[in-house]
Every structure is written in C-alpha cells, then in structure tokens.
C-alpha cells in the first residue's frame, strides 16, 4: 500500500433524500448521500486531505451511485466491501428554518456487517489519523469490535485516534453509549463532544471546564466541546482551555454540521495547525455547511474556507 493517508474514517454510508417541503406534500426528493463518519471524511477530503474509508456497502441499485460518487470526490474506497444487505436510507425535510422532519431506515443494513475482518492493520498503519464515532459502534456488536480493534492497532503504532460519541437517542441508549465509550476511551487521543447530548448522557458532567479536565485525566490529549448554548467551542489541549465563537449563528440545516466540523479540524491538525487554530478553521467549514440543506452536498470546498480563514486570521 504505497498511498499515505492523512485520515482514515470507519463508518456507515446512507442514501440521503431531501426536500425543502413537508414530507406529506413534497413532490420531489433530491438524492445524495450521508452518514456521520462519511461526512467527516468528505469534509477533510474537500479541504485537501488524502482520505480512506472503511465500510460495507449494500448490493442494491444505490451501490454504483455511491461508489462512483466517492471516486469522483477522490476518496480511497479500497476497503469498502460489498454485503448482501441493503444500503441505509434517511429522508430529511426542511420546510422552514426551525422545522425539521427526518426519518431513518438503517436496521439490518450493509454497514452493520462491519467486523474485525474488515480492518487491515497495514492499511491502518498507513494513515496519520484514524477516526470513528459512537454511531459506528451502535451499528452492531461486530462493528463496535471493529472500531475497538482499529483504534487499538493505531495506538500501538503511534497513530492519532479521533472519536466522537455522537449520541443520538434514536440510535442508542445512554447506558449503551457509556459502555461504547468505556470500551474505547483508553485508545482515544482526540475527542469531539456535544455539550447538550454527549455530556449529559455519557459523562454526567455539566461544566465544560470540568469535562475537559476529566477527559485529560483519562489520557485524552485534545478535547473539543461543541456548545450550542454558548454558540461556540471549548478546546482543551496541552493544559490550556480556550473558547472559540461559532463562525456564524445563521443556519438553514445543521444536519451533520458537527461531523463536517470534525473533518475540518482533523484536516487542519494534519496540515500544521495547532488544535486552537484548527477549531477556528473547522468552525468556518461547519458554519458554511449549515447554510445549505443536506449533510454532505452542502460541504464547502478548500478555496472558500481557506480564503475566509486567512482573511480572519491574518
């Protein structure tokens, strides 16, 4: 394997169907694709990172569309294996700014067949960062084992690991999320958490500062807390804690904006940015992404994000 990757993401892909109308009245649904870890991967890729993706894809009529779309983005899909199960699907409607309808169809889907057999240690060794989320772990016991194995392998080889619990009550319970986190935390170098969902359901800590210190005590070196209430990010690294405002408070659709942020952050830290600089960069990416509808089709490209970052930061 000659190609060296900046980031390898492990997770699911979902077919996305979207509309700006209510689902009950929508005459047309627009096809794209989504998935939390995949959003992170594409965000980093569009910023200029070399990205690989580990997943299972369903052998259904959406297969070729998904594979060709990822190839067109430039993502390495050599570790995406076919499964007999179908691809997952979600339908999202944004009839108004403060209205959102979303329905997931993700039971017994192809990515749930992810297992340790899908993790090639030589592939893992060929990256600077390995990324996965609690959503990937929630797919199935075998998918959870695959994430744990990949992170352990990365840790043993001095490769940075990054993790987002991404708690979502429709997919998992607080107890299951706590268990998933406990199984992997010893291998995590960098963590992203949402103060509204992850902190309350996984750590039972309200204070961002106390959360960061707790995670430092667990051996996690870099912590980024996304706070909707404070409209910004608390970042803890190298014994320092800093707060960074959201790039923009204007939004149309925040679906997977946090995942897009993660991709921007990981791109930045693998390209010479400090964690605090990386948060500023990723905030721009996530802010732009949230101004359009859709998880991945709304992710901006390198030129726009870098231009704004340089303008705002000298």
Whose CA is closest to 277, among 286, 267, 285, 268?
268
193 vs 60, 71, 156, 259, CA distance in Å? 34, 30, 24, 11
- The answer to whether residue 93 is domain-embedded is no
Residues 6+ apart with CB under 8 A from 77: 52, 53, 67, 70, 71
Question: Into how many domains does the chain fold?
Answer: 1
Question: What confidence score (pLDDT) does residue 134 get?
Answer: 95
At residue 303, the pLDDT reads 97
Report pLDDT for 97: 66
Residue 237 has pLDDT above 90, yes or no: yes
149 domain residue, yes or no: yes
Average pLDDT, the chain: 93
Pick from 52, 30, 28, 56: which is nearest to 40 by CA? 52
Relative to beta strand 240-245, strand 232-237 is antiparallel
Please answer whether residues 45 and 116 qualify as being in contact, where contact means their C-beta atoms are separated by less than 8 angstroms: no
Report how far residue 217's alpha carbon sits from residue 211's, in angstroms, rounded to the nearest whole number: 10
pLDDT band at 2 (very low <50, low <70, confident <90, very high): low
Residue range 124-137: mean pLDDT, rounded: 96
9 domain residue, yes or no: yes
CATH assignment at residue 45: 3.40.1190.20
Domain that holds residue 153: 5-13+35-86+114-312
257 falls within a domain: yes
Query: What is residue 4's predicted lDDT score, i.e. its pLDDT?
Result: 93
- Percent of the chain scored above 70 by pLDDT? 99
* Tens digits of residue pLDDT in 250-262: 887 777 889 999 9
CA 216 to chain centre: 21
pLDDT at 94 over 90: no
Within-domain flag for 24: no
Range of lowest pLDDT (95-109, 129-143, 149-163): 95-109
Considering the domain boundaries, does residue 105 fall inside one? no
| In-domain check, residue 209 | yes
Q: Residue 23: inside a domain, yes or no?
A: no
């Amino acid at each position: 394997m000659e190609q060296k990757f900046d980031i390898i993401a492990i997770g699911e892909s979902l077919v996305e169907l979207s509309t700006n109308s209510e689902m009950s009245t929508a005459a047309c649904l627009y096809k794209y694709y989504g998935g939390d870890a995949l959003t992170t991967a594409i965000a980093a890729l569009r910023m200029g990172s070399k990205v690989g993706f580990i997943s299972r894809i369903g052998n259904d009529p959406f297969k070729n569309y998904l594979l060709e779309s990822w190839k067109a983005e430039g993502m390495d899909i050599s570790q995406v294996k076919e499964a007999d199960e179908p691809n997952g699907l979600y339908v999202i409607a944004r009839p108004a700014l403060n209205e959102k309808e979303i329905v997931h169809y993700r039971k017994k889907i192809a990515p749930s067949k992810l297992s340790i057999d899908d993790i090639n240690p030589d592939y893992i060794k060929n990256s600077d960062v390995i990324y996965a989320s609690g959503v990937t772990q929630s797919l199935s016991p075998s998918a959870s084992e695959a994430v744990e194995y990949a992170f352990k392998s990365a840790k043993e080889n001095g490769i940075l690991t990054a993790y987002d619990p991404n708690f979502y009550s429709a997919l998992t319970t607080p107890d299951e999320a706590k268990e998933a986190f406990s199984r992997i935390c010893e291998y995590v170098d960098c963590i992203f958490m949402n103060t509204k969902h992850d902190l309350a359901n996984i750590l039972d800590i309200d204070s961002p500062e106390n959360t960061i210190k707790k995670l430092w005590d667990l051996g996690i070196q870099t912590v980024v807390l996304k706070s909707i209430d404070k409209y910004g990010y608390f970042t803890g690294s190298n014994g320092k804690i800093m707060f960074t405002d959201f790039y923009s408070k204007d939004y149309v659709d925040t679906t997977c904006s946090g995942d897009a942020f993660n991709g921007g952050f990981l791109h930045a830290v693998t390209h010479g940015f400090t964690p605090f600089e990386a948060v500023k960069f990723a905030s721009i990416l996530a802010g732009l992404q949230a101004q359009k509808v859709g998880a991945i089709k709304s992710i901006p490209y390198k030129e726009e994000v870098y231009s704004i970052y340089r303008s705002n930061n000298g």
